[in-house]
Amino acid sequence: MTFDVAAAAYDRFMGRYSSLLAPQLAEFAGVHSQDSVLDVGCGPGALTAELVRRLGVPHVTAIEPSKPFAEAAAARFPGVDVRQAPAEEIPFPDGTFDAALAQLVVHFMADPVKGLAEMKRVTRAGGAVAACVWDLAGGRAPLSPFWQAARALSSDVVDESELAGAREGQLRGLFDAAGLGGLAESTLEATVEFASFDEWWEPFTLGVGPAGAYARSLGADGLAAVRAHCAASLPPPFRLHVAAWAVRGIA
> pLDDT tens across 31-63, in order?
988 899 999 999 999 999 999 999 999 999 999
Domain boundaries, the chain: 7-135+160-192+241-250
Count Cβ neighbours within 10 Å for each residue of 129-158 and write b for 16 or more, e otherwise.
bbbbbbbbbeebbbbbbbbbbbeeeeeeee
Backbone angles phi, psi at 36, to 5 degrees: -100, 120
pLDDT at 125 over 90: yes
Domain 7-135+160-192+241-250: give its CATH architecture: 3-Layer(aba) Sandwich (3.40)
pLDDT at 108 over 60: yes
pLDDT in tens, 168-179: 999 999 999 999
- With a pLDDT cut of 90, the percent of the chain lying above it is 96
pLDDT at 2 over 60: no
pLDDT at 98 over 60: yes
Q: Is 1 exposed, middle or buried, given 0-12, 13-18 or 19+ CB atoms closer than 10 A? A: middle
Going by pLDDT thresholds of 50, 70 and 90, the confidence category of residue 11 is very high
Task: Please give the DSSP secondary-structure letter assigned to residue 110.
Answer: S
Q: Model pTM greater than 0.75?
A: yes
Separation CA 206–CA 127 (nearest Å): 38
Among candidates 219, 221, 222, 223, which has minimal Cα distance to 202?
A: 223
